[in-house]
Structure 1
Amino acid sequence: MFNRTGISHLISISGLHITMVAALFSGLIFALWRRSFFTTARLPLMLPAQKAAALAGMLAATVYVLLAGSGVPAQRTLLMLTVVALALWWGRITSVSHVLCLALGLVVLFDPWAVLGPGFWLSFAAVAVILYVSVGRAAANGDAGKLRWRAALQSATLTQYAVTLGLVPLTVLLFGQASLVSPLANAVAIPLFSFLVTPLALLGSVLPAPLSFWCLGFAHFLVAELAQVLNWLSGFSLAVWTVPIPDAWMFALALIGTIWMLAPRGWPARYLGLFAWLPLVLNAPAHPRAGEMWVTAFDVGQGMALLIETEKHRFLYDTGPTYSPESDGGNRVILPYLRARGINTLDGIMITHSDTDHAGGALSIMREIRVGRVSSSLPLEHPIVRAAPLHERCIAGQSWHWEGVDFALLHPTAASYDSEKWKPNARSCTLKVTLNGLAILLPGDIEAVQEAELVAGKGAELAADVLLAPHHGSGTSSTLPFLQAVQPQLALFQVGYRNRYRHPKQEVFERYGELGIGRLRSDEAGAISLRFGSAIEVIEYRREHARYWYGR
Structure 2
Amino acid sequence: MRLFALAFLLGTATLQHQGALPAFDSALPGLALLLAAGLLARERRVPLAMLLAVAGGLLGFGHAAWRAELRLADELPFRWEGADVEVVGVISGLPQPAESGTRFAFAVEEIRTAGAVVPRDVALTWYRERSPKASGVPRLAAGERWRFTVRLKRPRGLANPHAFDFEPWALERGIRATGYVRTLSRYERVDARVEGWPYTLHRWRGEIREAMLAHLSANRMRGVVVALAIGDHDAIASDDWEVFWRTGVGHLMSISGLHITMLAAAAFAVAFFAWVRVPPLALYIPARKAAVVAGVLAALAYALMTGYAVPAQRTLLMLATLAACVLADRHGAPSRVLALAALIVVLADPWAVLSAGFWLSFGAVASIFYVMSLRAGRRGRLHAAYVEQLAVTVAMMPMLLALFQEFSLVSPIANAFAIPVVSLVVVPLAICGAFLPLPFLLDVAHAVMLALMSPLERLAELPFAMLESHEPAAWSLMAGVVGCAWLLAPRGIPMRSLGAAWVAPMFTVAPQTPAQGEAWLDVLDVGNGLAVSVRTSHHAIVYDTGPGWSADADSGSRIVVPFLRGEGIRTLDGMVVSHADDDHSGGAISIAGSRAPPWLLSSVPPADPIHLAFERSIRCEAGQRWRWDGVDFEILHPAAAMYDETGRRKENDRGCVLKVSTASASALLAGDVEARAEAEMLARDPGALRADLVLVPHHGSKTSSTPAFVAAVAPRYALVSVGYRNRFKHPNAAVLARYAAIGSRILRTDEGGALRAVLPAFPSQPLVVRAYAERARYWSDRRPHSWIDP
Shorter chain as normaliser: what TM range? Answer: over 0.9
Asked if 1:452 corresponds to 2:679, the answer is yes
More displaced 10-residue stretch of structure 1: 408-417 or 474-483 = 408-417
Q: Secondary structure at the match of 2:726?
A: coil
Q: Which residue of 2 aligns with 1:409?
A: 635
Q: Which residue of 2 aligns with 1:317?
A: 543
Change in Cα spacing, 1:253 to 1:473, as seen in structure 2 (3 Å) is: same
Decide whether the 8 Å contact of 1:72 with 1:120 is kept in 2.
no
User: Structure 2: how far apart are the matches of 1:339 and 1:422?
Assistant: 38
Decide whether the 8 Å contact of 1:76 with 1:124 is kept in 2.
no
Q: Secondary structure at the match of 1:167?
A: helix
Asked if 1:514 corresponds to 2:741, the answer is yes
Q: What pairs up with 1:100-499 in 2 under 5 angstroms? A: 100-135=338-373, 137-140=375-378, 143=379, 151-209=380-438, 212-213=439-440, 215-419=441-645, 420-499=647-726
Q: Say which structure is richer in helix.
A: 1
1:22 corresponds, among 264, 274, 288, to: 264
2:292 corresponds, among 46, 54, 72, to: 54
CA deviation profile, 1:407-435 (whole Å, cap 9, x unmatched): 11111222322220222212111111111
TM-score (norm 2): 0.65
Amino acid at match of 1:205: A
1:6 corresponds, among 220, 223, 248, to: 248
User: Structure 1: how far apart are the matches of 2:661 and 2:268?
Assistant: 70
Change in Cα spacing, 1:550 to 1:190, as seen in structure 2 (3 Å) is: closer
Q: Percent identity?
A: 47
Q: CA deviation at 1:380?
A: 1.2
CA deviation profile, 1:114-152 (whole Å, cap 9, x unmatched): 222211111110000001111364323xx4xxxxxxx11
CA deviation profile, 1:334-355 (whole Å, cap 9, x unmatched): 1111111121111111111121
Q: What pairs up with 1:506-545 in 2 under 5 angstroms? A: 506-533=733-760, 534=762, 535-543=766-774, 545=775
User: Structure 2: how far apart are the matches of 1:389 and 1:198?
Assistant: 44
User: Structure 1: how far apart are the matches of 2:318 and 2:718?
Assistant: 54
User: Structure 1: how far apart are the matches of 2:739 and 2:650?
Assistant: 26
CA deviation profile, 1:141-182 (whole Å, cap 9, x unmatched): xx4xxxxxxx11111111111111111111111111222111
User: Structure 1: how far apart are the matches of 2:308 and 2:499?
Assistant: 37
TM-score (norm 1): 0.92
| Equivalent residue pairs, number | 535
Please list every run of 5 or more consecutive structure 1 residues that lacks an aligned counterpart in the other structure.
144-150
Q: CA deviation at 1:233?
A: 1.6
Q: Which residue of 1 aligns with 2:727?
A: 500
Please list every run of 5 or more consecutive structure 2 residues that lacks an aligned counterpart in the other structure.
1-242, 784-790
Q: CA deviation at 1:217?
A: 2.4
Decide whether the 8 Å contact of 2:318 with 2:345 is kept in 1.
no
Q: Secondary structure at the match of 2:522?
A: strand
Q: Secondary structure at the match of 1:318?
A: strand
More displaced 10-residue stretch of structure 1: 81-90 or 248-257 = 81-90
Q: CA deviation at 1:541?
A: 1.3
Q: CA deviation at 1:509?
A: 0.7
Cα RMSD of the aligned pairs, angstroms, is 2.0
Q: Which residue of 1 aligns with 2:220?
A: none
Q: CA deviation at 1:550?
A: 4.8
Q: CA deviation at 1:437?
A: 4.4
Q: CA deviation at 1:317?
A: 0.4
CA deviation profile, 1:282-302 (whole Å, cap 9, x unmatched): 123532221111111111111
Change in Cα spacing, 1:191 to 1:21, as seen in structure 2 (3 Å) is: closer
Q: CA deviation at 1:463?
A: 1.0
CA deviation profile, 1:220-266 (whole Å, cap 9, x unmatched): 22322322222222222222221111111101111111112222443
Q: Secondary structure at the match of 1:165?
A: helix
Q: Secondary structure at the match of 1:124?
A: helix
Change in Cα spacing, 1:250 to 1:261, as seen in structure 2 (3 Å) is: same
Q: CA deviation at 1:72?
A: 5.1
More displaced 10-residue stretch of structure 1: 194-203 or 509-518 = 194-203
Amino acid at match of 1:12: S
Q: Secondary structure at the match of 1:345?
A: coil
Q: CA deviation at 1:44?
A: 4.3
Q: Which residue of 2 aligns with 1:147?
A: none
User: Structure 2: how far apart are the matches of 1:136 and 1:252?
Assistant: 22
User: Structure 2: how far apart are the matches of 1:380 and 1:71?
Assistant: 47
User: Structure 2: how far apart are the matches of 1:471 and 1:230?
Assistant: 45
Q: CA deviation at 1:194?
A: 3.1
User: Structure 2: how far apart are the matches of 1:115 and 1:421?
Assistant: 56
Asked if 1:85 corresponds to 2:336, the answer is no
Q: Secondary structure at the match of 1:254?
A: helix
